[in-house]
Amino acid sequence: MNEMGILFCRPGRGSTLEDAFEIEADVVDALEVQTHVVNADLVADGEADLALEAAQLDGGALLYRGPILPAETYEALEDALRFRGVELAVDSVAYEHALYVPEHHDAIEDLSAPTRWTYGTDIGEAWAAALELGDPPWLIKDHVKSAKEQWESACFVPEGATQADFQDVAEGLLEHRGELFERGFVIRKFLDLATSSVRTLERRIPEEHRLFFWQGALVAHAPYHPIVDPLRDTAAFEVLGSRIDSPFFTADVAFLSAGGWVVIEINDGGVSTLPEDLHPRDLYAQIFA
């Protein structure tokens, strides 16, 4: 099999998608890693065959770097590549396992906030599931993403919230995510996290760190937001490498105000952007060592 390369899915002219991988593509060129760039809009629209038409593929495996795709769309990309004799380094089963909360939560339940989920958009069912966690505050998201940039209106359910308050936040999430809403609601118990020096108008940002795992090993990490004291001792987090059944994934972790740490989120590595303080060279030098 040929050496592994990278498949960058980047938006074309006039796209509404964000190009989060321009710097990475430039860095990888310096590392002499084989890369292919395809139109992210076509891939996201389920037109993987059309997107791959101009790519000169010659077998081997490719590491996906691109926007979050629904599992079915990622599988369609995998099928289109296999037809051309190319494998994805992260197959569609591993992609779904890392991306969707219900697929991996059991593996990290002891390291994560108490969590419940539903399937579909029934807010009454989500309220009933939330009550299993005890009284609010809670956080609410879909099976893949939150709307934390809309903290008060579509993410955070405060202490003392009523069913009507919960419904308002759930409706805000549905409106914010729109057609991108994935599978159902996820409700998590809100935990008191140690905060960083970074804040928005609505809240102070927790001291959160993004960890990249490749083939079960922690290969790179950085604070999610630039902070004064970055993470140095990573030994405690290495256990995550054997918990998630994917060769390339990320774990966002944060410290609790009372001490200890918690997994905030697991994600597929291919769709996870790099924190500002993590240079792509440091990540790819480990993956392509």
Confidence of residue 1 (pLDDT cuts 50, 70, 90): very low
- Global pTM? 0.93
Helix-strand-coil percent breakdown of the chain, rounded to 5? 35, 25, 40
pLDDT of residue 197: 61
Weakest mean pLDDT among 27-31, 110-114, 180-184, 254-258: 27-31
* Mean of the per-residue pLDDT values of the chain: 92
Mean pLDDT score, 254-262: 91
User: Token pair 């990490």 is at which residue?
Assistant: 221
Going by the DSSP 8-state scheme, the letter that residue 207 receives in this structure is: -
**Percent of the chain surpassing pLDDT 90:** 75
Structure tokens at 196: 């960083």
**Percent of the chain surpassing pLDDT 70:** 94
Map out the domains of the chain with their CATH numbers. 5-89 (no CATH), 98-109+192-287 (3.30.470), 114-189 (3.30.1490)
Q: How far is CA 197 from CA 118, 161, 173, 205, 230, in A?
A: 35, 28, 27, 7, 12
